[in-house]
């Protein structure tokens, strides 16, 4: 069975304002970040159960994961969610186009989001999984329709600059991180939601990358976080992953009368209310995390 984190290198403690993470340590010097993701892919291929399914949103993170599996010749099935009617058209068409170019035959999971909400299934799923992020329930639903091994191109490492003290931090939000970890474990799903940060060596390799080191040392003007540098990092190898707007379909939903449905409003939560159970926030200084991970 593939663990959500290799050797459970994240240990979760507390919730809300007591949320904390205890990290495992690297056991060897890391390779490059790309090479570590390749290592993760090979490990998953060697330990898979049934076919490998990769949920593909049409965004750059999941495309990077797909391209790695393609480059390694590892067989997989892309899975694309279609929020009917055409709510996530932008990402959906981008995902279909990629599959056409590479002659991939995706599984398309249709979810009529309005029916999903008005039927009561949305609220039932959110409450049963302790989900406080309304946008995640449809993806959770999709994972239950798949057999074999399930991967999400989510939860990549993130660093940001605190403008109050000028320090750089690694951070995680319980509302997404622990939800996905708990969801995979509770439903006995073989796979991981975090192949992009799967091992201590993966995280350390990301931190050691010259682009990230330059970022942390304020050598890149105007940067306040690592997310805007991801495409450059991914394209160091593949060179042609296109820049895309960050659209998921939920921007459209939030303009619809449906968004005011009491079931959605009951689950919709303020991401910055860290006193809320399930909504904790964790951060650690770059140097402190690096020192810990390097204790191999």
Residues 58 and 246: their CA atoms lie apart, in Å, by 10
Residues 56 and 53: their CA atoms lie apart, in Å, by 9
pTM attached to this predicted model: 0.94
Q: What is the mean pLDDT of each run of 10 residues along the chain (296 residues)?
A: 93 93 96 98 97 94 96 98 92 94 97 96 94 95 96 94 95 95 95 97 98 94 91 93 84 94 93 88 97 89
- In CATH, the number for domain 6-293 is 3.40.50
pLDDT of residue 56: 95
Residues 209 and 217: their CA atoms lie apart, in Å, by 12
pLDDT of residue 261: 97
pLDDT of residue 221: 85
Tell me the CA end-to-end span of the chain in Å, nearest whole number. Answer: 26
Q: So where are the chain's domains?
A: 6-293
H/E/C letters for each residue in 201-220? HHHHHHHHCHHHHHHHCCCC
pLDDT of residue 248: 84
């Amino acid at each position: 069975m593939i663990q959500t984190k290799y050797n459970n290198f994240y240990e979760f403690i507390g919730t809300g304002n007591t949320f904390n993470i205890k990290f495992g340590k690297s056991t060897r010097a890391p390779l490059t970040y790309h090479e570590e993701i390749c290592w993760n892919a090979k490990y998953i291929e060697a330990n898979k159960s049934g076919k490998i399914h990769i949920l593909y949103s049409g965004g750059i993170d999941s495309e990077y994961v797909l391209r790695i599996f393609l480059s390694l010749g590892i067989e997989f099935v892309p899975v694309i969610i279609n929020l009917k009617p055409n709510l996530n058209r932008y990402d959906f068409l981008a995902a279909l186009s990629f599959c056409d170019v590479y002659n991939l035959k995706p599984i398309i999971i249709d979810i009529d989001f309005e029916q999903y909400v008005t039927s009561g299934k949305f609220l039932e799923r959110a409450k049963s999984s302790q989900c406080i992020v309304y946008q995640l329930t449809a993806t959770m639903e999709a994972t239950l329709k798949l057999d074999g091994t399930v991967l999400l191109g989510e939860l990549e490492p993130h660093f940001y600059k605190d403008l109050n003290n000028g320090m750089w931090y690694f951070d995680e939000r319980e509302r997404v991180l622990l939800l996905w970890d708990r969801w995979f474990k509770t439903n006995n799903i073989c796979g991981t939601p975090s192949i992009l940060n799967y091992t201590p060596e993966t995280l350390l390799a990301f931190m050691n990358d010259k682009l990230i080191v330059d970022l942390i040392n304020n050598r890149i003007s105007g940067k306040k976080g690592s997310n805007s540098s991801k495409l450059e990092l991914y394209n160091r190898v593949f060179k042609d992953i296109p820049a895309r707007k960050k659209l998921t379909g939920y921007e459209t939903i939030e303009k619809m009368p449906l968004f005011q449905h009491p079931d959605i409003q009951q689950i919709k939560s303020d991401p910055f209310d860290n006193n809320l159970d399930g909504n904790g926030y964790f951060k650690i200084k770059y140097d402190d995390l690096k020192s810990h991970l390097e204790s191999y």
